[in-house]
DNA sequence: CGGGCTATTGATTCCAGTCAATACTCGTGG
DNA sequence: CCACGAGTATTGACTGGAATCAATAGCCCG
């Protein structure tokens, strides 16, 4: 949807390689970025250097909106795979907005979506057990892949257990343990970064795994 | 004269009484609201009826932006005190935006601020202990009061322990216990809803309270 | 092959949730 | 006025889930 170019305005594309930083916290804000292809992570880094991952943007997602209000980026974006980004200089956005207000509206909409996503994530974090968080994470990832036309049942994780943990508010070992547990429960198969989803409907609504017994069927 | 009207556009004001709902989740989206006076809470309600509080908006904060992208509000806003809100019909925003793009920019900015706040909250939830969360909550509240010209050291909580817990991802009893602990540590005084802040600088940066000893001085 | 990173698995600790009892506040009506 | 009850807050005892500490094993790449 956010193929802004159809509106008659051309934007520059940039390519980034794995590990490359798109912008850093505290750096002066000048542009928004829309993911055209590839896979990134955005994170906040606190005074002590702990990084908290706030999202794994993919095609169609927007980066850098948290820079608008203070004129400096508040977060950091790093490419996890080679990626292509559409650069939208904020000045241009403002200019173009004068002639085509729908364009600014489009940005409002994407921001609104991002805010809502962030809130859901927040709620999940508060009210769900570690198991439910991991289950939902996999389920959501599956949905996002599906939306982009990839397989929703077989995919490769682009991030480490560590990063998943830093996204879900869990320790690395907990993520690992829970993935094993989900596998033993027959809901998924895990082999390192390769994932198969067997029971998406169970993952989506899981609250807690039944206390471990040998039952494979309920 | 509230902020936006200086731009030559008049907006309707509405008043709400304590407990009154401004909008409900899933209700069709039509307007944004800016708090002119008073004190509200916004929350998400899940399938099971659990409510997760996502914010306590005060003067200058914006409500309803999460409704833009799906044309229905995704959250619920309730007044905690009598409050006055500026109603900005979204249609009008779009109209006015055509003549005055700065106006839409203003909205972008407030949304950006809200997104950043939400993220910080999210990080706090992931990486801080219960004690640090409560300490930061009080410290932040203090700052917000100060920004509005009220006392930053003496104030009255408008929300219950239950609501604080639902905002911070903690049980009500935990909030209560920690406030007592902070009091015994000499950082604040608590008497039901009345709060005095004694050591704001400690609250702001606290990670963990030292294991309880009888020492009143370090 | 060796070194570094990542993942799995086990043992133990401890923070915060749950359950439960008591006390405080406030509004209403006998 | 006091009694009563509903909502809110404090405090204690106990439990359990996830973190931490720690050891081993698998993977990738020079």
pLDDT at B136 over 80: yes
Q: Which three-class secondary structure state does DSSP give residue A52?
A: strand
Q: Chain-wide mean pLDDT for chain B?
A: 88
Identify whether the C-beta of residue B68 lies closer than 8 Å to the C-beta of residue A109: yes
> Which among A57, A60, A88, A111 is the top mutation candidate for probing chain B, defined by the most B β-carbons within 10 Å of its own β-carbon?
A111
Q: What is the side-by-side order of every strand in the sheet holding A154-156?
A: A154-156, A194-197, A188-191
DSSP string, A157-175: --S-HHHHHHHHT--HHHH
Backbone angles phi, psi at A26, to 5 degrees: 80, -10
The burial class, CB within 10 Å (0-12 / 13-18 / 19+), for B13 is: middle
pLDDT at B91 over 70: yes
Q: Return the residue of A nearest to B168 by Cα.
A: A126
Interchain proximity A119–B74, CB inside 8 Å: yes
Strand partners, B191: B194
Going residue by residue through chain A, which has 218 residues, state the pLDDT in tens, using 9 for 90 and above.
444 555 567 899 999 999 999 999 999 999 999 999 999 999 998 877 788 999 999 999 999 999 999 999 999 999 999 999 999 999 998 888 877 777 778 888 888 888 888 888 888 888 899 999 999 999 999 999 999 999 999 999 999 999 999 999 999 999 999 999 999 999 999 999 999 999 999 999 887 765 443 333 32
Q: What gap in Å lies between CA B183 and CA B116, rounded to an integer?
A: 30
Q: What gap in Å lies between CA B56 and CA B45, rounded to an integer?
A: 15
> pTM higher than 0.75 for the full model?
yes
For strand D, the positions having any atom within 7 A of a protein Cβ are 8-13, 17-22, 26-27
Q: What gap in Å lies between CA A154 and CA B38, rounded to an integer?
A: 51
Per-residue confidence (pLDDT) for residue A210, from 0 to 100: 56
């Amino acid at each position: 949807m956010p193929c802004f170019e159809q509106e008659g305005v051309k934007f520059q594309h940039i390519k980034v390689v794995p590990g490359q930083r798109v912008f850093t916290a505290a750096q002066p804000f000048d542009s928004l970025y829309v993911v055209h292809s590839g896979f990134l992570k955005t994170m906040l880094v606190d005074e002590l250097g702990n990084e908290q991952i706030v999202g794994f943007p993919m095609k169609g997602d927007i980066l850098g909106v948290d820079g608008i209000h203070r004129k400096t980026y508040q977060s950091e974006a790093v490419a996890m795979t080679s990626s292509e980004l559409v650069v939208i200089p904020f000045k241009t956005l403002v200019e173009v907005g004068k002639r085509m207000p729908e364009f600014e509206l489009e940005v409002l909409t994407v921001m609104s979506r991002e805010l809502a996503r962030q809130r859901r994530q927040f709620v999940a974090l508060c009210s769900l057990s570690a198991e439910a968080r991991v289950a939902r994470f996999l389920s959501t990832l599956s949905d996002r892949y599906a939306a982009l036309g990839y397989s929703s049942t077989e995919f490769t994780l682009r991030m480490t257990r560590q990063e998943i943990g830093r996204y879900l508010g869990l320790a690395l070992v907990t993520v690992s343990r829970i993935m094993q547990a989900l596998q033993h429960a027959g809901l998924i198969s895990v082999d390192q970064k390769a994932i198969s989803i067997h029971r998406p409907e169970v993952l989506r609504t899981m609250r807690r795994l039944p206390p471990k017994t040998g039952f494979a069927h309920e």
